[in-house]
Structure 1
Amino acid sequence: MSTNTSSFIDPDLMKGVEVFRNILKKARAIIALTGAGVSAESGVPTFRGSGGLWRTYQATDLATPQAFRKDPVLVWQFYHYRRELVFSKSPNPAHEALARFEKECKSSGKQFTLITQNVDGLHQRAGSENVIELHGSLYKVRCTECNVISDNHNSPVCAGLAKETTSLDELPHCGRPGCGGLLRPHIVWFGESLEPEVIEKARKALDNCDCCLVVGTSSVVYPAAMFAPELARRLVPVAEFNIQTTPETGNFQFVFQGPAVGSTGADTFE
């Protein structure tokens, strides 16, 4: 017995999907803004709300420069946990769809920029290339003395973090001759500003944008929360893909929400 699944699909929703797809086809400079909701579908915790505890600590209390100055061992243990957790996860269909879409844009001479608030690198692992990481990366470290930033995909970051307890001397340190400063995760912590060059790159992409996808973001973390509303005020078509409404939902021309389109809307823009 066959079932006509089209009877379960909201016709107004499908009309909106088709209108958006036509706009997307004509666009020449597209931006995707992504947030924690994308990686949550890979099993990466958001560390917000009820999921905000690590051991007995609020994760947000550890993501501050003050916490690192007070107890760098504890903070590094937290980020070691996060790194190892993400190592065990894989990109999901949303990551993969965005990576495929970027390739399609390149092949047709379009610009595509992915601006993410995520720090887990899953977009790159899925194949995305033109990625702006607003909040840094779990797989980069920065020296607290010379400020040099370097990639670090070691598992663990250093041998000391593989142990249940460790000391300050066993934490990762800068390998540059004459430095040896303590390394920190290259993450924008609460109370810190985004790097000026990162903001500049994002702003250039936003200035040239003629279509925007907002995928899996709560639209409450600034300055990223301002980006899509600013585009909407310029009458740039903005489509929000999320499992729930956000404070900015009412400002966007297209909203794809709930199980009918999926929380990522991955097949809506393909």
Structure 2
Amino acid sequence: MKVFVLTGAGVSAESGLGTFRDKGGLWDEFDPMELATPEAFERDPARVHAFYNMRRSAMVDALPNAAHAALVRLEAGLEAKGGEIFLCTQNIDNLHEKAGSRHVHHMHGELLVARCGWCRRREVCTVGLSEETICEGCLRTGGMRPDVVWFGEMPIGLDTIADALRDADLFVAIGTSGAVYPAAGYVAEARALGIPTVELNLEPSDVARVFDSGRYGPATEVIPAFVEELLARA
């Protein structure tokens, strides 16, 4: 069995990392157009850096929860039975990796990586960035930014995602709002391909009606239970 798993902010919420579009989420408190676009960074890089430095600090100390651990068991369990998981995350945190997932596709980039706008060099970044941060590749300042996908930018590896979706036997969306495209459209693509679809979420998403089935409740309860059932059937 090949399982395509799409995760969103809801899988990391119980680790203390805020969601975006839920009530009380980050975009209730902050304007994404002022913090998460290339234009915002060009207009006020100090403000954008401050926001992502705050998020990076919280991320470094965050620990994976039972939902992340369950997906590690799913990866190992499927491989033991000759199957595989394609774990595609919209999250820019590293909690899947901290939990032990070995193959994670970050379609929206990674906050603990910095990218130079001058030479395109990428490097691990666990400290704050600023306009004065020097790129270790070209030795210039003023070009370092979080290696994340902002509004108006293209998600990473869309062809890889499309290939994995076409090859899947099951599509599972976990902790997603169903509001951000192209990820929100993957369930419809899976349905069109005849692939069974399941939503695991705190509550029904914007596209819940498109899924074949759904289970709702805290991620640390719903996901481990689903994984054990799935592995028993695989």
**TM-score, structure 1 as length reference:** 0.77
Describe the superposition over 1:201-254 as per-residue Cα deviations: whole angstroms up to 9, x where unpaired.
Answer: 111111111111111111110001111221122221111111211232222222
Q: Does structure 1 residue 222 correspond to structure 2 residue 181? A: yes
After TM superposition, the structure 1 = structure 2 runs for residues 59-78 of structure 1, keeping only pairs within 5 Å, are 59-78=32-51
- The aligned amino acid for 2:93 is D
Contact kept? 2:65, 2:220, Cα under 8 Å: no
For the pair shown, the structure with the greater C-alpha radius of gyration is 1
CA-to-aligned-CA distance 1:40-87 (integer Å, 9 cap, x gap): 121101243433369x85355211111111121221111111011111
Aligned equivalents of 1:220, 1:44: Cα separation in 2: 19
1:89 matches 2:50? no
Three-state SS of the structure 2 residue aligned to 1:132 is strand
Is residue 115–residue 147 contact of structure 2 (8 Å, CA) maintained in 1? yes
Return the alpha-carbon distance in structure 2 between the equivalents of residues 210 and 36 of structure 1. 24
Q: Which amino acid aligns with 1:52?
A: L
Question: SS where residue 137 of structure 1 aligns?
Answer: strand
1:246 and 2:170 aligned: no
Please name the residue that 1:188 is paired with.
149
1:52 maps to what in 2? Answer: 26
Partner of 1:268: 226
Distance in 2 separating the partners of 1:233 and 1:266: 28
Q: Secondary structure at the match of 2:177?
A: coil
- The aligned counterpart of 1:110 is 83
Tell me whether 1:255 sits opposite 2:226 in the alignment: no
Q: What's the C-alpha RMSD, in Å, of the aligned pairs?
A: 2.2
SS in 1 for 2:223: coil
| 1:144–1:182 CA contact under 8 A, matched in 2 | yes
Pick the aligned partner of 1:42 from 15, 30, 37: 15
Q: Give the letter for the 1:50 counterpart.
A: G
Contact 1:116–1:131 (CA under 8 A) maintained in structure 2: yes
CA distance in 2 between counterparts of 1:30 and 1:234 reads: 14
2:96 is aligned with 1:137: no
Q: Work out whether 1:148 is the aligned partner of 2:121.
A: yes
Letter in 2 for 1:69: E
SS state of the match for residue 78, structure 1? helix
**Does 2:120 match 1:173?**
no
| Residues 146 and 181, structure 1, Cα contact 8 Å, conserved in 2 | no
Query: Is there any run of 5+ residues in structure 2 with no aligned partner, and where?
Result: 229-234
1:144 Cα offset (Å): 0.5
How far does residue 127 in structure 1 lie from its aligned partner after superposition? Answer: 0.6
Q: Report if the CA contact (8 A) 1:30-1:112 is conserved.
A: yes
Contact 1:174–1:180 (8 Å) recurs in 2:
yes
Paired letter, 1:236: I
Task: Answer yes or no: is the 8 Å Cα contact 2:67–2:220 preserved in 1.
Answer: no
Select 1:128's aligned residue among 75, 79, 101.
101
Residues paired across the two proteins, number: 227
* Distance (whole Å) between structure 1 residues aligned to residue 224 and residue 33 of structure 2: 30
Q: In 2 relative to 1, CA 181–88 (structure 1 residues): closer, same or farther, beyond 3 Å?
A: same
Structure-2-length-normalised TM-score: 0.88
